[in-house]
Amino acid sequence: MSLNRDLFLAGKNISLRPLTVKDVEGNYRYWLNDAEVVQFNSHGRFPMTEAKLLSFVNSLQSTDTTLVLAVIDNATGGHIGNISLQSISWVDRNAEIAFLLGEKSYQGKGVMAEAGALLIGHAFNTLNLHRIHCGTSSENIGMQKLARKLGMSQEGIRKEAIFNNGQYFDIIEYGIIKNTN
């Protein structure tokens, strides 16, 4: 398969490209209402409609503090998830990284590790950010492993900071600083 011209960052197995209105027409709109896909994040608390998702995707065109990219399987060209830099602070030179693997058949195959490495490299080497961080539920073992695989260190714990399925859970904070050596 030849790669399309919309690709932004290319990896071995996956590539990243900007989200488009066409993505809303695909499976993306269903991921955010799938309890299994959103079990550890803040999505899924309110129903996601096509109109709300379309508004979100359109809003990305006019922001310089959020970069959301579609994760594309190079073999099939399919949109399998998203990855983003959120709350980008150009003064403090940091941002939060977030992951959404929508297509469950790709779980455990390293695609988000590859996507994360691509985006962190872009953040440090092109955007000149100094620090990338993320937080995840103490119950989300997969995300904790992913953060460590990406070279992040545990920085702290926010006690009982997320309410999910009738109980409070801690949020474990991870971060990585650009290596300047």
pLDDT tens digits along 31-82: 887 777 877 777 767 778 888 888 889 888 889 999 999 999 999 999 999 9
Tell me if 38 is assigned to some domain: yes
Q: Write down the pLDDT at residue 150.
A: 97
Tally of structural domains, the chain? 1
Start-to-end CA span in the chain (Å): 38
Sheet holding 94-101, edge to edge: 9-10, 14-18, 67-73, 79-89, 94-101, 131-137, 167-177, 153-164
DSSP 121-166: HHHHHTS---EEEEEEETT-HHHHHHHHHTT-EEEEEEEEEEEETT
Of 5 and 3, the structure prediction assigns the larger pLDDT to 5
Tell me if 2 is assigned to some domain: no
Tell me if 27 is assigned to some domain: yes
Tell me if 64 is assigned to some domain: yes
| Residue 26 confidence (pLDDT) above 80 | yes
Tell me if 4 is assigned to some domain: no
The residue among 4, 29, 1, 7 whose CA lies nearest residue 122 is: 7
Radius of gyration of the chain, Cα coordinates, nearest whole angstrom? 16
Tell me if 1 is assigned to some domain: no
Cβ atoms within 10 Å, residue 155: 13
The model's pLDDT over 158-174, given as tens digits with 9 standing for 90+, comes to: 999 988 888 999 999 99
> 125: domain range?
9-177
Tell me if 164 is assigned to some domain: yes
Q: Write down the pLDDT at residue 5.
A: 67
Tell me if 3 is assigned to some domain: no
Whole-number Å distance between alpha carbons of 78 and 60: 21
Q: Give the angle 51-55-56 at the CA atoms, nearest 5°.
A: 120
Does residue 74 sit in helix, strand or coil? Answer: coil
CATH of residue 42's domain is 3.40.630.30
Looking at the DSSP bridge assignments, the partners of residue 68 are 84
Tokens representing 156 are 């702290």
